[in-house]
């Protein structure tokens, strides 16, 4: 049974719309496909980087939803 692992990169644009690029491994290559516009390409290395680049250039989607937790100005850290 062949192993197919898929992953995705999702970014939001400044209007809060989500864009997803799917990355699928096929042998040595990885196929990258944008769920929004149908763009696709292949990459042997760093497919996530290509996905990000596409999202930025084509959709101006630069906000990483997994990176939204901003260290808040919460309770002060106690000093020793
Ligand atoms: Zn796209």
Residue 62: alpha-carbon gap to chain centroid: 9
Q: Report the separation in Å between the CA atom of 24 and the middle of ligand 1, taken as the mean of its atom positions.
A: 16
Q: Report the separation in Å between the CA atom of 4 and the middle of ligand 1, taken as the mean of its atom positions.
A: 23
Beta carbons of 65 and 46 less than 8 angstroms apart: no
Nearest to 11 by CA among 43, 44, 58, 46: 58
Tens digits of per-residue pLDDT, 33-49? 999 999 999 999 899 99
Q: For the chain, first and last CA: distance in Å?
A: 57
Q: What are 65's two structure tokens?
A: 């939803």
Q: Report the separation in Å between the CA atom of 55 and the middle of ligand 1, taken as the mean of its atom positions.
A: 6
Q: Report the separation in Å between the CA atom of 32 and the middle of ligand 1, taken as the mean of its atom positions.
A: 10
pLDDT of the chain, 80 residues: tens digit per residue: 555 567 999 999 999 999 999 999 888 899 999 999 999 999 998 999 999 999 999 999 999 987 765 555 556 667 77
Average per-residue pLDDT in the chain?
86
Look up residue 59 and give its DSSP letter.
H
């Amino acid at each position: 049974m062949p192993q197919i692992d898929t992953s995705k990169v999702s970014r939001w644009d400044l209007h809060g719309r989500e864009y997803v690029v799917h990355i699928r491994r096929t042998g040595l290559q990885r196929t990258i496909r944008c769920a929004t516009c149908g763009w696709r390409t292949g990459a042997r290395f760093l497919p996530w980087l290509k996905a990000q680049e596409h999202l930025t250039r084509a959709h101006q989607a630069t906000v990483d939803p997994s990176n939204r937790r901003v260290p808040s100005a919460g309770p002060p850290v106690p000093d020793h």
